[in-house]
Structure 1
Amino acid sequence: MPLRRSDVIEMIGEKSILFLVGGVVSILVGLLFANYNYGGYVTGLVWVLLLAGVGMIIAALYSGTKVREVGDCEAQCPYCNAVNRLVAAPDDDFRCSYCQRLIPVKDGEILEVHQVRCGYCNELNFYSEKNDVLICEKCDHEIPITVGEGKPVRHVPRAYTVTDDERLYELVLTGHGQHKQEELIQTLQHMLALNRNQVKQLLEETPVTLLTGITRKKAEMLAAQLAVNEGTAEFHPLGE
């Protein structure tokens, strides 16, 4: 992963501050011991502390000069066009500091990214020549992309994407309660466009098929409406 110039400078700064604080503390402790001296018994320790403090301060100053040696390479993000400052030319993918997208890099060059809108939710997505497959960032549907001549088209495993169920279903009423029978009758009248007597006859013949050839989403919605009024319904794919 390419190193960011700001991160390297921050590490150098932290190291310099650590040496500087340690040096100042060492000198202060040495001067404190020298002030009380304790009959000359700590003279050696005083000199050790003073010399160590001076050494750490010199190390802090030397470490600070290393900032000038940090490389400065500009890498423009192909997504937001912001300039990322690295210590060297990138040799691997890295994340943009501004838009947080992963910038594709190949053979030391930042790749061009292409835009494509999801056919399901119209969300704008990006891809580069390093992508074999593309999943929408918003709805998780797979988006077909051109992967280049001579390259086989790959697909994302179904477990990693949202797929629409294209099968047709039948909705079957399997039972009903007694406490909300009036509400259930009204719901079925509206759902099936039947009169009251026809609906009451259906309730006496459960299990009974209410609708066939409907999508899964519609079957789920209608089953939920029936469940509110104590109607028990199941839906099954046609022909299975």
Structure 2
Amino acid sequence: MELKYKIKRFFRNIAIENLMTYIAASMAIIFVGDLFTDGMLSLYLSFDKAAILEGQVWRLITFLMLPDTASPIWIVFSVYFYYFIGKETENEWGSHNLTMYFLLGAALLIISGFVTGYTSASYLYFSLFLVYAHLDPHHRFMMFMVIPIEAKWMALIDAVFMLSGFIKAFAIYPIFPLLALGMQLSVVIAFLVYGIFFGKDHFGGMVNRFRHRDFYREMRQNRIKMSQNERDDDEK
């Protein structure tokens, strides 16, 4: 068997069931640990290029499990959000696809971290909502427990939020240029991974819309020509 087929078969068998459930639970546990250690647990588990090169290789994995908030209130919403979106996306898309999405994003974030010295998985997780909205765009959420809004519009808000993080990073370039670059690369990687998996669907949809527009435009032009020819025949 050729090597490329062996590689395809190897990756086809990679699937971590309930992946985002494990990650959400890890975030909750680390958050509680931070309460008792004054944030030292997250510091010990975060991505640190120098520490990793010195042998603290667990940081290559544990930085993916850090909570993205220090608020006791928001951590509840954050953990539930990741659990819910992860579970629903896995049910819709399958464990294999979600696992490959996560692993590709994690690998790119690690590379970015070694280049800039900083990386964060938060935006990669935010991009999971884009995946969910692509798979089920008409699912309705209750914003602020009152306003019904479809997933596709929530995804637009999510994308704007991610882009705002990219823009805000420009403010710290004069002081911490590598940190700012690392923050921006985290956003770019999140969009890039989404684009790798779903860019073809969006591009194909745009192409089809243009084709339909051109088709209907041509039909209208043909109708106008036919009506003109009919009037010319009547005059004769």
Higher RCO (CA 8 Å, separation ≥ 6 residues): 2
Do they superpose with TM above 0.5? no
TM-score (norm 2): 0.22
TM-score (norm 1): 0.22
Bigger fraction of residues in strand: 1
Bigger fraction of residues in helix: 2
Structure with bigger gyration radius: 1
